[in-house]
Amino acid sequence: MSSSTGPASGLPVRMPRPRQPGRHRRPEPVAAPEGAPALVLAVPGAPSTTTRSLAEEVVSIARSELPGLDARIGYVDGEEDATVTSFPEFPSLQSVLAHASAERAARVERARAAGAEVAEPDGPVAVVVPLLAGPDSALMRRIRQAVVESRAAAELTDVLGPHPLLAEALHVRLSEAGLARADRARLFTVATAADGIVLATVGGEEAVQAAGITGMLLAARLAVPVMAAALDQEGSIAAIAEQLRGSGSAQLALAPYLIGPELDPGLLDVAAKDAGCSVAEPLGPYPAIGKLALSKYTTTLGITPQQPSGTPVH
């Protein structure tokens, strides 16, 4: 069984990369300061073993980038019951934050009982990072409410996108589905490559506008038109597909601008069928997701490890 602090026994864990020899070696990542707040990944959607595995992979990536990072997982729709010594299989975000707060208070009390002079902690006990590529006001309200109700001194960051790394991730998922060339520079042709991309998101008009920014970056990578549409607005995907066809695109692909847990089962396939599009996989635990989650954490705390940047897809 999994805990709020890491994967269950037997699951693979990403370890920090070994330092490379030579003058051109990459700089070593900065380690998390001792006693630094926890990174708590707020996972939307119905908890399941699939979403847990995805979230554990994301925090594993973050830990590999920042050794010593205390990374935990809290589910927006998780289980509330938790004690100091026992946690449910899918702990709620509120429970995880309350537990982190209780742990810090206990550490202070132990130190004082041992005769140490310890001041009251004045920083956050945790930094909450939503596992969302784009804005979703309804989900963000629920996450914010959980933070408030936990009574923990926690900071809530913005969502992960838009960002060039998400355009890279979308490119990879499309190429994996045979819907885009893996590397335009090599002139590798794919017979089924799409000549128009519908970027699917959830969260209404605000999410569509934010996805459009990443869509422009994706369009520059693929040299094909990319337009965003909302999965949770009836007819939006089909309407954008028709608009692309009207402008000359004949072979369309649906690219989910979604990590996965926030997606209602079956919604993507129905939209793809209605719009007559082939469909790629959601972003999932692509390495960029873990790096962006860590970037939100370190920016909030003023820690400066290597910053994530977009890289070519090969």
- Residues 97-153: tens digit of each pLDDT: 999 999 888 877 777 777 777 666 678 999 999 999 999 999 999 999 999 999 999
Residues 45 and 157 grouped into a single domain: yes
- Give the count of alpha carbons within 13 A of 218, CB side only: 33
Q: How far is CA 101 from CA 117, 123, 182, in A?
A: 20, 11, 45
Residues 176 and 252 grouped into a single domain: yes
Structural domain including 296 reads: 38-161+288-301
Residues 113 and 251 grouped into a single domain: no
| CATH code of residue 236 | 3.40.50.1400
Asked if omega into 162 is within 30° of 0 (cis), the reply is yes
Digit-by-digit pLDDT tens for the chain (314 residues) are: 444 444 444 444 454 455 555 554 555 557 888 889 999 999 999 999 999 999 999 999 999 999 999 999 999 999 876 554 556 889 999 999 999 999 888 877 777 777 777 666 678 999 999 999 999 999 999 999 999 999 999 999 999 999 999 999 999 999 999 999 876 544 455 667 899 999 999 999 999 999 999 999 999 999 999 999 999 898 999 999 999 999 999 999 999 999 999 988 788 999 999 999 999 999 999 999 999 999 999 999 988 755 565 544 43
First to last CA, the chain: 37
Cβ neighbourhood burial of 296 (10 Å; 0-12, 13-18, 19+): buried
Cα distance between residue 110 and residue 126, in whole Å: 20
| Count of domains forming the chain | 2
DSSP 9: T
Note whether residue 15 is domain-resident: no
Note whether residue 100 is domain-resident: yes
| CATH code of residue 122 | 3.40.50
Residues 206 and 293 grouped into a single domain: no
Residues 60 and 145 grouped into a single domain: yes
Query: pTM for the whole thing?
Result: 0.84
> Which conformational region is residue 303 in: left (phi greater than 0), alpha (psi within -120 to 50 degrees), or beta?
beta
DSSP 224: S
Residues 292 and 276 grouped into a single domain: no
Note whether residue 54 is domain-resident: yes
Cα distance between residue 264 and residue 46, in whole Å: 9
Cα distance between residue 78 and residue 282, in whole Å: 22
Residues 126 and 170 grouped into a single domain: no
